[in-house]
């Protein structure tokens, strides 16, 4: 029996939820819960950390990051 990969949920159905990463860490953002989880390797569970999101950082349309900064896109504006 052939296994099928589950379909991804479109961003329109999961607002404020995103995954991004820089060179060292990857982040799962759950702005609906007011937090983000970081790890250097989610497969191994390495360096797991849970962080609170500042209220002004919640409700973004998309979240991006590099090694030092997070960028939050809300509508046609961004915060860094």
Does residue 25 lie in a domain region? yes
In b/e form, how buried is each residue of 19-35, taking b as 16+ CB within 10 angstroms? ebbeeebebbbbbeeee
**10 is a domain residue:** no
Rounded-to-10 torsion of CA 74, 12, 42, 6: -170
Average model confidence (pLDDT) across the chain:
88
Q: What is the pLDDT of residues 18-34, one digit of tens each?
A: 999 988 999 999 998 99
Nearest 10 degrees: Cα torsion 59, 61, 17, 20 = -120
Backbone angles phi, psi at 3, to 5 degrees: -85, 140
- Residue 5 maps to a domain: no
Range of 43's domain?
Answer: 15-79
Residue (of 61, 77, 78) closest to 69 by Cα position: 78
Structural domains of the chain, count: 1
Tokens matching residue 62: 């998309």
pTM score, whole prediction: 0.79
Confidence label for 13 from pLDDT (cuts 50, 70 and 90): confident
């Amino acid at each position: 029996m052939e296994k099928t990969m589950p379909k991804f949920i479109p961003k329109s159905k999961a607002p404020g939820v995103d995954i991004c990463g820089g060179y060292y860490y990857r982040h799962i953002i759950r702005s609906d819960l007011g937090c983000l989880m970081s790890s250097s390797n989610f497969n191994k569970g390495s360096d797991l950390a849970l962080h609170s999101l500042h209220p002004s950082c919640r409700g973004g349309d998309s979240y991006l990051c590099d090694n030092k900064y997070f960028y939050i896109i809300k509508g046609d504006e961004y915060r860094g």
